[in-house]
């Protein structure tokens, strides 16, 4: 349980000083018709999407009895170097909230939540050719006692570790997966890995065939070829039936 009695290394503004971060603070220049920098496709600066994510964060903080996020974006934070710790969480503000809160307690200011691809950019890595460095120009940082702040970083802050919501089919999955692709720092996942983990057949085959762990009796019907499975997967309690055409094969399905 987080303690609110521990002193914070930085001054926390009083409730009278708090300002809600509206669309202009969340996406500076969103009224201007400008194309975003970088190579990330999809929604890169929609104030409605960012505002919705920000409101989700405020709702989650309120439910936990924690103070709302302070808008400190008018005074950019400076002085971050390559050795400063920056753990970047991309996407959903609620999925990783416990991690953000605990990280803010153990290492105040190091946990940074990125709610939009407009808040980050990818640049060629100076240390690992062929990879990219992720630079954060904006983010929500967390500190002791569940305090959080919307901040801008000048120059942009380099991420040392990146994770986020990589779930396939998630509206955020496109830009989250693209930002985290081929980085020069460790990452907590990827869209292809999330796709594999969410595939019940693949996970059960791996657990049964490669890890020798018991799985529930599984009968799977597969249409066409599956490149992520061997031609004849052999695993205890897992049976795979390939269907070339679903039409006219009801008797085979009933027999199996």
List the pLDDT tens digit at each of the 256 positions of the chain: 344 444 444 444 443 444 555 545 566 543 343 334 434 433 444 667 888 899 999 999 999 999 999 999 999 999 888 778 999 999 988 889 999 999 999 999 999 999 999 999 999 999 899 999 999 999 999 999 999 999 999 999 999 999 998 876 665 558 998 999 999 999 998 888 888 778 888 888 888 888 889 999 999 888 877 777 776 667 888 888 888 776 778 888 888 8
**What is 76-113 written as a DSSP string?**
-B----TTS--EEEES-TTTTHHHHHHHHHHSTT-EEE
Q: At what angle do helices 47-63 and 97-106 cross, to 10 degrees?
A: 70
Return phi, psi of residue 114, to 5°.
-110, 120
What's the pTM value of the predicted model, to 2 decimals? 0.69
Task: Please give the Cα distance from 148 to 68 (Å, whole number).
Answer: 7
**Residues forming a β-bridge with 121:** 135
Which residues, 6+ apart, have CB-to-CB distance to 181 below 8 Å? 132, 190
Buried b (16+ CB within 10 A) or exposed e, 113-133: bbbbbbbbbbeebeeeeeebb
């Amino acid at each position: 349980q987080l303690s609110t009695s521990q002193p914070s290394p930085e001054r926390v503004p009083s409730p009278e000083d708090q300002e809600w971060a509206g669309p202009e603070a969340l996406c500076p220049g969103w009224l201007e018709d400008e194309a975003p920098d970088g190579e990330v496709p999809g929604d890169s600066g929609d104030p409605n999407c960012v505002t919705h994510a920000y409101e989700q964060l405020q709702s989650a903080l309120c439910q936990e009895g924690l103070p709302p996020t302070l808008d400190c974006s008018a005074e950019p934070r400076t002085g971050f170097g390559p050795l400063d710790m920056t753990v970047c969480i991309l996407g959903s503000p609620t999925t990783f909230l416990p991690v953000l809160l605990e990280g803010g307690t153990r290492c105040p200011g190091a946990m940074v939540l990125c709610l939009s691809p407009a808040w980050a950019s990818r640049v060629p890595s100076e240390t690992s050719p062929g990879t990219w460095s992720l630079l954060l120009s904006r983010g929500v940082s967390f500190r002791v006692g569940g305090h959080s702040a919307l901040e801008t970083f000048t120059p942009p802050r380099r991420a040392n570790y990146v994770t986020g919501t990589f779930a396939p089919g998630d509206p955020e999955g496109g830009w989250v997966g693209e930002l985290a692709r081929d980085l020069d720092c460790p990452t907590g996942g990827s869209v292809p890995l999330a796709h594999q983990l969410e595939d019940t057949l693949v996970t059960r085959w791996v657990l049964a065939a490669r890890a020798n762990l018991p799985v529930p009796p599984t009968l799977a019907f597969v249409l066409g070829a599956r490149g992520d499975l061997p031609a004849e997967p052999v695993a205890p309690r897992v049976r795979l039936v390939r269907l070339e055409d679903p039409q006219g094969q009801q008797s085979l399905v009933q027999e199996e």
